[in-house]
Amino acid sequence: MLSVLLAGFGGQGVLFAGKIMAYAGLIEEKYVSWLPSYGPEMRGGTANCSVCLSDEPIGSPLVLNPDVLVAMNLPSYDKFINQVAPGGIAVIDSSLISKRSDRTDIRCFYVPAAEKADTEGLSGLSNNILLGKALQEARFASFEAVEQAVAKCVPPKKQHLLEPNIRAIKLGMSL
């Protein structure tokens, strides 16, 4: 089983990126679960979501020690970096988080996602840039499955956002 924790400020799109991951798993016929934080932290503080992708039925959908952490703000980094399972990976938005982890038992990738999103005309899509990096490093699904997943997650009325979402993922994969 692969467990993922995506965390950031409410509005950065951690829940959406998590949903893409879960849908990609579904498309590849895996067992998947997606569990959001729904407490008061959603309203202005940090939001996070747990995603599990597995070949077996999933027990607890709550991820405490993720194999993959995607951290989109400093409070999330501080809260979760030491929770990452040994051997796991952390994808960190280095344009918003200046800290560097001294853990040697995990692989950390510092991606200036927010900055890249602005310069590449992908405003608001730093979530998917980080998702792309996570895909590249953790190989949680095939790119094709992720591409199909994005199509499932972008609402019919917002089809013009399909292309930039996928472009952001591709950009993240290349960083």
Partner 1 sequence: MALTEKVLMKGNEALAEAAIRAGCRHFFGYPITPQTEVAAYMAKQMPKIGGTYLQAESEVAAINMVYGAASAGVRAMTSSSSPGISLKSEGISYMAGADLPCLIINVQRGSPGLGGIQPSQADYWQATRAPGHGDLHVLVFAPSSIQEMVDMVFDAFDLADCYRVPAMILADGMLGQMMEPVVFPERTVKQYDKGSWATNGHQNQRAHNIVNSLYLQPDELESRILERFERYEQIKQKHTRSEEYLVDDADYIVVAYGATSRIVRSAVNTARDKGIKVGMIRPMTLWPFPAEPIEKAAGHAKAFLSVEMSMGQMVDDVRLAVNGKAPVGFFGRTGGVIPTPAEVLSEIEKMAGGDK
Return the residues of window 79-138 that contact partner 1 according to CB under 8 A: none
* C-beta of 44 vs 59, nearer to partner 1: 59
How many residues contact partner 1, by CB under 8 A?
20
45 binds partner 1 (CB under 8 A): no
Q: Which stretch binds partner 1 (CB under 8 A): 23-31, 72-80, 104-112, 155-163?
A: 23-31
| Cβ nearer to partner 1, comparing 15 with 168 | 15
Considering only residues 3, 12, 33, 46, which one is a binding residue for partner 1 as defined by CB under 8 A? 33
| Cα–Cα distance, 165 to 159 (Å, whole number) | 10
Burial class of residue 86, CB neighbours in 10 A (0-12, 13-18, 19+)? exposed
At its nearest, how many Å lie between partner 1 and the CB of residue 129?
22
**Separation between Cα atoms, residue 141 and residue 132, nearest integer Å:** 11
Query: Cβ distance 4 to 63 under 8 Å?
Result: yes
Question: Angle at CA 121, nearest 5°, toward 167 and 92?
Answer: 70
User: Does residue 21 sit in helix, strand or coil?
Assistant: helix
Contacting partner 1 (CB under 8 A), which of 14, 17, 32, 130? 32
Q: CB nearer to partner 1: give 51 or 171.
A: 51
39 lines the binding site for partner 1 (CB under 8 A): yes
Alpha helices in 7-125 (DSSP H): 14-27, 74-80, 113-119
Residues near partner 1 (CB under 8 A) = 19, 22-23, 26, 31-36, 38-39, 57-62, 64, 152
